[in-house]
Amino acid sequence: MSLPAKASAAAKQHLRLHLVSGIGPRRFRQLLDHFGSVEKVFDATPAQWQHLHGIGDKISSTLQAHHGLQEIEQELERAARYQLQIICQDDDEYPRLLREIPDAPICLYVRGRLLPADNMALAIVGPRRASHYGNEQAYQWAMEVARCGMTVVSGLARGVDAQAHRGALAVKGRTVAVIGCGMQFLAEHENRELADQIVDAGGAIVSELPIGRPPDPQNFPARNRIIAGLSLGTLVIEAALRSGALLTADAATEYNREVFALPGRVDSPASFGANRLIQRQQAKMVLSLKDLLEELGHAQPELQHNFTQRNETLFDQLQNQLSDEEQQLLGVLADGDLDLPAIVIKTRLAPERLSHLLVMLQMKGLIEQLPGQRYARLHK
């Protein structure tokens, strides 16, 4: 049940309550559980509303002011103007994973399309001011995840978010962006061209905020919880000790979703938060796509199947796309696993360059790291 310009009475009621100032997802659930339906919420008296914990004169007055449907009709007109769907919790199109969280958005404003395939999604998050390593890894991980049929979810910000979306698009995969403002302000967004590319590729831009709500820093923690709620797991690429990416990881933990982190340099402030997650066992360290899918695959056997199928078909394709150095490194490992000093001797590559190539080949699922700094070739 989508609502661009026309909507059922029930759907309008959901939107009507959504537009009431002071009624967030948890308050919405409280009212619905107590009164039984949105219609009965509005049929109640101020005394009945105030009988509930946390509802005082201010919210009661606002509820009374919304007995007319003018605000709803105006919002539907704006939705039609910006070519949006408005999806409510009772609608079939509402994402199943998001519906499971305790503070699920009352309504979602969607530009583009959400699909059932998005129930197999991974959030990839990190800082706006990411390092070269962070941007590169976000792009590479998104490519690999999308190749396995997962939807990449992120926040459309510069840095890691943007690179994650671009990585998914690069392999014609699905990606969904969650923004922290109303859709009216998407035209002013720093990544508005990327947003257009996501929609043109069949993905979606999502917000829970009314169409005319401007950007505000206080919107972003709530935005981050939607990113986590839409996803089976969250991968933290980089994070400072105080970071929005850590808020997303916290939300994922609260929702009993998997949290993964990519280790970074111990002397880089951009990696302090991600490394701390690993140190405190609040996130599983991942070095390759195999690590991640081994965790998610227990609950999603389709992912394991996709991963196996991908490795069987992608190896030959990748062989033609590898650089001369990557080909050389694979050749050195053809006869068996080697430790790092032996690889340096055989390839004659500078250690820093070799380290980069080893990470890239692990990301592509062509080699794996063994105990004792040994590396082995996978497949063929």
More confident of the two residues 159 and 368: 159
Question: Residue 301 — very low, low, confident or very high, per pLDDT cuts 50/70/90?
Answer: low
pLDDT in tens, 326-355: 889 988 998 888 999 999 999 988 888 998
Domain 322-377 coded CATH 3.30.300.90: no
How many percent of the chain have pLDDT more than 90?
55
CB 138 within 8 A of CB 163: yes
Question: What's the whole-number mean pLDDT along residues 85-89?
Answer: 90
Architecture of the domain spanning 116-296: 3-Layer(aba) Sandwich (3.40)
Sheet order of strands, 85-88 included: 85-88, 107-112, 204-207, 175-178, 151-154, 121-125, 233-236, 258-261, 284-285
> Domain segments of the chain: what residues?
9-112, 116-296, 322-377
Q: Is the pLDDT of residue 367 over 90?
A: no
CB 198 within 8 A of CB 121: no
Give the DSSP H/E element, type plus range, for residue 153: strand 151-154
Q: What is the pLDDT of residue 61?
A: 84
pLDDT in tens, 307-317: 555 555 555 55
- The class that CATH gives domain 9-112 is mainly alpha
- Going by C-alpha positions, the residue among 155, 276, 129 that lies closest to residue 259 is 276
Collapse the DSSP code of 145 into the 3-class scheme (helix H, G, I; strand E, B; otherwise coil) and give the result.
Answer: helix
Q: What is the pLDDT of residue 216?
A: 92
